[in-house]
Structure 1
Amino acid sequence: MNGELAVVLILLLVAIAMFAIGRPRMDVVGILVIVALPLTGILTVDETLAGFADPNVILIAALFVVGEGLSRTGVTYRLGDWLARTAGASATRLIVLLMLSVALLGAVMSSTGVVAIFIPVVLSIAARTGMSARQLMMPLSFAGLISGMLTLIATAPNLVVNAELIRDGSDGFGFFSFTPFGLVVLILGIGYMLFARRFLDRKGTTDAADRRSTFETLTADYNVDGRTHRYKVQPRSSLAGLALAELDLGTGRRGGALILERSRLFRRTVHTTADNARIERGDVIVTDVDVRPEDRGVLGLEEIESGDAFFETYSRQVGLGEVLIAPDSSAIGKSVRGLRFRDEHDLIVLGVRHVGRAAGASFSSLRLAAGDTLLVAGPWSAISRLQGESRDYLVLDLPVEGDEVAPASNQAPFAILSVVVMIVLMVTGVVPNVVAALIAALLMGIFGCIDMPSAYRAIHWPTLLLIVGMMPFALALQRTGGVDLIVNGLLTTLGGAGPRVLLAGIFALTAIIGLFVSNTATAVLMAPIAIGLAHELGMSPYPFAMIVALAASSAFMTPVSSPVNTLVVEPGRYTFFDFVKVGTPFTIIVLIVSVLLVPVILPL
């Protein structure tokens, strides 16, 4: 071992130690590496910073934006709604559908983001059905990890391994090269979790009964559903062409619409306080005005069934909030009508609770007192502004639906279209993968699925800095002979046992390093070693690279192996040993399946 290699290995061990203890943050460790390597003289500054220009770093950033577009348009939340309706009270059906849904969605967006989205969905289902959240959260995290084995873009380690193949002179993997392995692991994972959930007993389960209010409890407390009506604008209606602010439903009061719903082909548009929105034939007007039958005929309106708790169907775009009249509020002594809440705060008052009881339909004329509460509706952004700006009103805890806001819900079909275009471009190879992802991100912006501030916030910069910071280590190890040293060590130890044993050794080494280092950093370190080993044996690099990618996604053994696991620890009330107990056997199963399957699909 030469002196330069010793320096690189010391830096690598120090980085691993900092990853293991969690101090400093992983992105800071990446920056420290970027600073330290040029000082050693082994790499130049340009070589150390080359990761910032790597196409895969840009690709990962673009995929963060695409994933955020799916969240902002409510595509992910609608999948959760379907899951809750379809699974019902069956724990088995729920686990199967949950893992399939998360894996499918995680194949085209960040698995960490998918798991974060599904956590409140799963907790809500657990609260309604009485299931144990402990038996649902770990299947959620396992499915998020397995999703990384389904497509090329599903997780950063896949892209890192693919980039190393291309850097080595090979063609790289195709979009669906990972899919056969991921599908087998997913099927095994579902079966395994149906069996293993018995080891995640109800002891220590979360308090499923969420104390926060919901749309259902709020509308019941203020008797909103009982006095809310829906009317469809008929073809010959005299209301067509009017602005919402000009609407008069026969009471002499203008602007009586709470919600204006419009369906065009596969899109549904919802307007709340947009007074300049024009009413069109076929629109549905949601109002608290009970239009008299004779007036319906004159206005050209047809009343349609509201159904129970129909307000929840608008929850991704229309917010509800409970507002308390402060003791020194200027609203004291005024009527609701006199507050001009719609003009001042872009919100509509749906009901009032006075002296602990819900006021009747004539609440708008009630004189308000300190301690009274109002139920307001409108854009979630308007409720947030009221929460932070007004001294007259105190916004109480927002309902749980506020965790699933989809401000661009009307653009959901365009978000799906953008993802489909990206996948088609990647599969056909018409343009490089990074260009396909950038096209999808641009389409998301053009169609209004995401705005620039949201796009920048969506990019997980610590992940990018970690990848860029660890990339130079691969080059430094190659230049100083470190890759050759590790390859020769593996050949000496396992070379006589055959290629499958070598694949098993690479998988085990990758999984063990992944206990202390992020799976992305692990892939950066192990990909050149695996490919170098393949060249040393005169074999194809593809099965060796695939083994590294699969092992990097097999971070099932500890709660700190992946952010996906860390997210579910608190909601599931898991201990470190819970993951060791359930995750270690499944990691061994994935190792065996990978070693048997990879050489068959990707010949040595």
Structure 2
Amino acid sequence: MNSELIWVVCLLGFAVFFFATGKIRMDAVALLVIVAFVLSGTLTLNEALSGFSDPNVVLIAALFIIGDGLVRTGVATALGAWLVKMAGSSETKMLVLLMLTVAGLGAFMSSTGVVAIFIPVVLSVSGRMQIPPGRLMMPLAFAGLISGMMTLVATPPNLVINSELLREGLQGFQFFSVTPIGLAVLVLGIFYMLLVRFAFRGESDDGTKERWKRRTFRDLIKDYRLSGRARRLAIRPGSPLMGRRLDDLKLREHYGANIIGVERWRKFRRVIVNVNGVTELRDRDVLLIDMSASDVDLRQFCAEQMLEPMILRGEYFSDQAQDVGMAEISLLPESELAAKSVREIGFRSRYGLNVVGLRRGGEAMDGNILDEPIQLGDILLVVGDWKLIRILGQKKRDFLVLNLPVEESVASPAHSQAPHAIFCLALMVAMMLTDEIPNTIAALIACLLMGKFRCIDAQSAYKAIHWPSIILIVGMMPFALALQKTGGVDLIVKGLMEVGGGYGPYIMLVCLFVMCAAIGLFISNTATAVLMAPIALAAAKSMGVSPYPFAMIVAMAASAAFMTPVSSPVNTLVLGPGNYQFSDFVKIGVPFTLLVMVVCVVLVPVLFPF
């Protein structure tokens, strides 16, 4: 092993360590890798930045935009409503239709986005059917992962593998080349989930059943132990609060008093006004306050601030549902806000909503939750304007809206552009099937048509692209080139040949699958595909067999991230809503991964002979 290869391996270890620990953002790690390769002289500037010119990077960005167009036009939401209607009261039918729908939709858009869309649907359905959400959440996540095996454009690893084939001067895969394998795994997954669903956590947990049904404001207040904390206080003449902004008052710091709304006279009636840090208080305002600090003397607080307590009936918030809303939200896995507190985030100033409750591990937390670092899996209860709650749910950049109470209007008609979005998607698929138009150009045409038909605007299109994923792909591509230049690929292939080369290509497929699955426990499936693609092709060349079955097994193994809740963002998304523990994924995911490996090893050589 030469010094350059040792340097590349150390750099790879550095990247894997920070990918696994999350101490540095994955996209930042990828950029650091590019800089290190150039400064060390391992790669030239053009070689290190070659990922930016890869057509598949543009294709992946375009697919993010198309997926967001399907969400904005209501196509994905309409599919969720259809799912609920067709399933009726049958849990078995619901599970089958859910996995079929998610896998089908995920074949053309981000699996993470699809799962995020369907989590509220599953929560609502599980509440209506009176079953633990855990019996449907893991099937939802597994279907999202299996969707990556349905089409060539379903997931970035497929495109990475295809790009490596083209780079080697070989013919790439067709649009539906992976579909037969994906369908076989999907059928296997459905039967597997029907058999093991009763092993999921929450089977006998009646509290879990109640937690995720469509609840009322009163239910949420009870679940988050808000009873007795809410206060309704009128500002008296001469109060030092009048004319001052909320941020300047620092009531949360001094008294543990969080103002979540203000009653104000408008057109001869009182309405609740949404508040933020710059809201100025006025004479005759009535404050709705959440008192999180139990040791504060309410009488002293009212005397110092010249406030007059008013009656607050139990049904108050239900009566004001037109003006104020509540919702449960959860942090998205890849959000940069993880481990930050509500106060550090500046949640009220950033989103215009107030956090009034926090549930961790199924239990509501007491005390000052505003300074508690938010962890993945935590469920937050927010209060504020319905419009801002919906905007928070639509952005899907940091938080996912999990559950809305019955007071929220459920009527959400599809946008008029939905038929145009479906047309754009169908046209893109048709162009990709012809092989006359490059996939990247077909996707760009679909994006331009979505803009023309106003399915998506320019600002939303740029926001729809998940830039950390793009940068991650671009930053990991130089690793494959560096391993090839320094002899790392040959060394790995030599090791694989010593382990399984003498037993034939089938054993080599098993070795590649196991290696991909093991690496995928620590880094993303996209990064795994980038690293393993050249190794798979070199192994095929060394054995004198066709590279296509080896390339396909890597693509399938990269999507088989079923074994832990951190193997994929899809798994992390359902961790909290499904009331799962780490061991649940190991218990269910490891056997299923082994079954998927058997199916792939048997089926891949049939479709792509050695």
The TM-score normalised by the length of structure 1 is 0.71
Distance 1:18 1:583 in 2: 24
1:112 aligns to what?
Answer: 112
2:188 aligns to what?
Answer: 188
Q: Is the 8 A contact 1:150 1:176 kept in 2?
A: yes
Post-superposition offset of 1:191: 0.2
**Structure 1 letter corresponding to 2:82:** W
Do residues 544 (structure 1) and 479 (structure 2) align?
no
Post-superposition offset of 1:211: 3.8
Post-superposition offset of 1:431: 1.0
1:227 aligns to what?
Answer: none
2:236 aligns to what?
Answer: none
Distance 1:473 1:213, change over 3 A: same
What are the equivalent positions in structure 2 for 1:21-170 lying under 5 Å apart? 21-170=21-170
Do residues 476 (structure 1) and 423 (structure 2) align?
no
Post-superposition offset of 1:137: 0.2
**Structure 1 letter corresponding to 2:483:** L
1:243 aligns to what?
Answer: none
Do residues 497 (structure 1) and 508 (structure 2) align?
no
Q: Residue 176 of structure 2 aligns to a residue in which SS?
A: coil
Q: Deviations over 1:458-498 (max 9, x none)?
A: 10011011101100000000000000110111111111111
Post-superposition offset of 1:48: 0.7
Q: Residue 572 of structure 1 aligns to a residue in which SS?
A: coil
Distance 1:7 1:100, change over 3 A: same
Post-superposition offset of 1:333: 3.2
Q: Deviations over 1:353-377 (max 9, x none)?
A: x99899xxxxxxxxxx999847379
Q: Is the 8 A contact 1:559 1:569 kept in 2?
A: yes
Distance 1:90 1:200 in 2: 18
Q: Is the 8 A contact 2:8 2:483 kept in 1?
A: yes
1:553 aligns to what?
Answer: 559
Q: Deviations over 1:366-416 (max 9, x none)?
A: xxx999847379xxxxxx99x959xxx974777569799979711000000
Distance 2:539 2:467 in 1: 32
**Structure 2 letter corresponding to 1:456:** Y
1:485 aligns to what?
Answer: 491
Distance 1:529 1:403 in 2: 54
Q: Deviations over 1:415-464 (max 9, x none)?
A: 00000000001010121101111111111111010111111111001101
Distance 1:580 1:42 in 2: 39
1:174 aligns to what?
Answer: 174
Distance 2:532 2:526 in 1: 10
Match of 2:266 among 328, 331, 346: 331
Q: Deviations over 1:146-194 (max 9, x none)?
A: 0000100000000000000100111110000000100000000000000
Q: Is the 8 A contact 1:51 1:468 kept in 2?
A: yes
1:460 aligns to what?
Answer: 466
Distance 1:372 1:181 in 2: 54
Q: Residue 170 of structure 1 aligns to a residue in which SS?
A: coil
Distance 1:523 1:371, change over 3 A: closer
Match of 1:506 among 502, 508, 512: 512
Distance 1:423 1:548 in 2: 24
Q: Deviations over 1:303-344 (max 9, x none)?
A: xxxxxxxxxxxxxxxxxxxxx9944x24163599xxxxxxxx
**Structure 2 letter corresponding to 1:331:** R
Q: CA RMSD in A?
A: 2.9
Distance 2:537 2:575 in 1: 35
1:209 aligns to what?
Answer: 213
Q: Is the 8 A contact 2:91 2:129 kept in 1?
A: no
Distance 1:447 1:167, change over 3 A: same
Q: Is the 8 A contact 1:73 1:407 kept in 2?
A: no
Distance 1:501 1:410, change over 3 A: same
What are the equivalent positions in structure 2 for 1:377-456 lying under 5 Å apart? 395=385, 409-456=415-462
Distance 2:516 2:314 in 1: 62
Distance 1:373 1:564 in 2: 36
Distance 1:59 1:95 in 2: 32
Q: Deviations over 1:495-542 (max 9, x none)?
A: 111110000000000001000010000000000000011111111111
Q: Is the 8 A contact 2:133 2:212 kept in 1?
A: yes
Q: Is the 8 A contact 1:107 1:151 kept in 2?
A: yes
Distance 1:42 1:91, change over 3 A: same
Q: Is the 8 A contact 1:64 1:109 kept in 2?
A: yes
Q: Is the 8 A contact 1:149 1:553 kept in 2?
A: yes
Distance 1:525 1:374, change over 3 A: closer
Distance 1:24 1:372, change over 3 A: same
Distance 1:406 1:415, change over 3 A: farther
Distance 2:409 2:30 in 1: 32
Distance 1:403 1:587 in 2: 41
Distance 1:356 1:411, change over 3 A: farther
1:577 aligns to what?
Answer: 583
Do residues 375 (structure 1) and 322 (structure 2) align?
yes
Q: Residue 410 of structure 1 aligns to a residue in which SS?
A: coil
Q: Deviations over 1:521-575 (max 9, x none)?
A: 0000000000011111111111000000000000000000001101000000111
1:223 aligns to what?
Answer: none
Q: Is the 8 A contact 1:326 1:394 kept in 2?
A: no
Distance 1:187 1:403 in 2: 36
**Structure 1 letter corresponding to 2:486:** T
Q: Residue 177 of structure 2 aligns to a residue in which SS?
A: coil
Gaps of 5+ in 2: 219-259, 272-310, 325-347, 354-382, 391-403
Distance 1:403 1:325 in 2: 20
Greater CA radius of gyration, 1 or 2? 1
Distance 1:331 1:410, change over 3 A: same
Q: Is the 8 A contact 1:507 1:547 kept in 2?
A: yes
Distance 2:162 2:173 in 1: 6
Corresponding residue pairs, total: 457
Distance 1:162 1:356, change over 3 A: same
Gaps of 5+ in 1: 215-323, 337-353, 359-368, 378-383
Q: Residue 183 of structure 1 aligns to a residue in which SS?
A: helix
1:301 aligns to what?
Answer: none
**Structure 2 letter corresponding to 1:375:** Q
Distance 1:80 1:536, change over 3 A: same
Distance 2:488 2:48 in 1: 17
**Structure 2 letter corresponding to 1:443:** L
Q: Is the 8 A contact 1:72 1:407 kept in 2?
A: no
Distance 1:41 1:576, change over 3 A: same
Post-superposition offset of 1:22: 1.6
**Structure 2 letter corresponding to 1:450:** I
2:369 aligns to what?
Answer: none
Distance 1:430 1:156, change over 3 A: same
Distance 1:403 1:532, change over 3 A: farther
Distance 1:161 1:213, change over 3 A: farther
**Structure 1 letter corresponding to 2:85:** R
Q: Is the 8 A contact 2:122 2:136 kept in 1?
A: yes
Q: Residue 576 of structure 2 aligns to a residue in which SS?
A: helix
Mean Cα deviation higher: 87-96 or 204-213: 204-213
